[in-house]
């Protein structure tokens, strides 16, 4: 198998990666045949997966603009994935030149491609780190250089927490990150759930099983379970809702039914 020029050495191209599957769903080109095969298999059960990913990206852009409108100029995007159209730094820096963004991912392809995209952008950087090690993440040179933790930060956890099993305690990781942020900071989050998917749960479970088979279990949580991540935050209107209903720019009746899968929300600390 020929290794593309953009693929870092040492990557096993036969093992699917969640971030490269996400890239495939969004129509990107930074994925391997193993990623495409796994994504297509998941789509056999849930054909609307690309629409769900598009809804995630659209929500992310709306939430970043909301944070800028609230006066936030620092963004920490954890589980940022492979850069695609409408990235956080593009949206934030267009709305507020000088806004600072640090991307965090543990996929080497995502990190390498982010470095290429961000070359020459002094106000954005990427770090290879793990959500479950908040202390190491916050102590990284990129965060220390660009993020002033004494001023409000928007913490972005979009489409990542559903890849963290309960045994790894995602709530503790989010609480530790939140505790490090200044008052007035925001938490921007989306999470997969069986609620809202326009399919019988057993069909949707087939897609979740594909992720389990590639050792990246997709943990579907209820609305109440997702709401627990916002402990210590006041919810910004309209609260924790299906992605397509969070400050929509498209009339809900014109949206694809899959855009209502899972939940999205933004919270702010006092």
Ranges of each domain in the chain:
18-268
**What pLDDT shows up at residue 13?**
85
Q: Which of 126, 132, 85, 131 is nearest to 109 (CA)?
A: 126
Burial class (CB in 10 A: 0-12, 13-18, 19+), 61: middle
| 4, pLDDT greater than 80 | no
Go through the chain and tell me how many residues it has.
270
Backbone angles phi, psi at 182, to 5 degrees: -70, 155
- Give the helix ranges, DSSP H, for 17-106: 18-25, 33-45, 49-69, 88-95
What does the pLDDT look like over 49-81, one tens digit per residue? 999 999 999 999 999 999 999 999 999 999 999
**Average pLDDT, integer, range 13-24:** 92
Strand ranges in 137-232 using DSSP code E only, listed in sequence order: 154-158, 186-191
Please name the fold of domain 18-268.
Rossmann fold (3.40.50)
pTM (two decimals): 0.95
**What pLDDT shows up at residue 10?**
74
Q: What percent of the chain has pLDDT over 90?
A: 89
């Amino acid at each position: 198998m020929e290794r593309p020029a953009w693929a870092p050495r040492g990557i096993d191209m036969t093992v699917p990666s969640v971030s490269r599957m996400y890239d495939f769903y969004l129509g990107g080109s930074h994925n391997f045949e193993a990623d495409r095969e796994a994504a297509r298999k998941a789509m056999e059960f849930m054909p609307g997966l690309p629409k769900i990913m598009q809804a995630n990206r659209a929500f992310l852009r709306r939430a970043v603009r909301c944070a800028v409108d609230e006066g936030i100029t620092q963004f920490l995007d954890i589980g940022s994935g492979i850069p695609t159209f409408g990235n956080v730094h593009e949206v934030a820096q267009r709305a507020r030149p000088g806004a600072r963004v640090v991307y965090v991912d543990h996929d080497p392809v995502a990190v390498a491609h982010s470095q290429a995209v961000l070359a020459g952008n002094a106000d954005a950087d990427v770090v290879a780190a793990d959500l479950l090690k908040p202390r190491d993440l916050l102590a990284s040179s990129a965060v220390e250089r660009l993020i002033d933790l004494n001023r409000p930060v928007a913490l972005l956890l979009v489409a990542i927490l559903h890849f963290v099993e309960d045994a790894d305690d995602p709530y503790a990781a989010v609480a530790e990150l939140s505790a490090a942020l200044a008052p007035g900071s925001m938490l921007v989050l989306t999470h997969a759930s069986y609620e809202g998917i326009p399919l019988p749960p057993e069909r949707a479970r087939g897609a979740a099983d594909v992720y389990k088979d590639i050792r990246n279990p997709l943990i579907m949580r209820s609305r109440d379970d997702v709401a627990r991540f916002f402990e210590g935050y006041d919810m910004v209107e309209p609260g924790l809702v299906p992605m397509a209903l969070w400050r929509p720019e498209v009339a809900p009746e014109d949206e694809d039914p899959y855009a209502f899968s899972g939940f999205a929300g933004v919270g702010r600390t006092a």
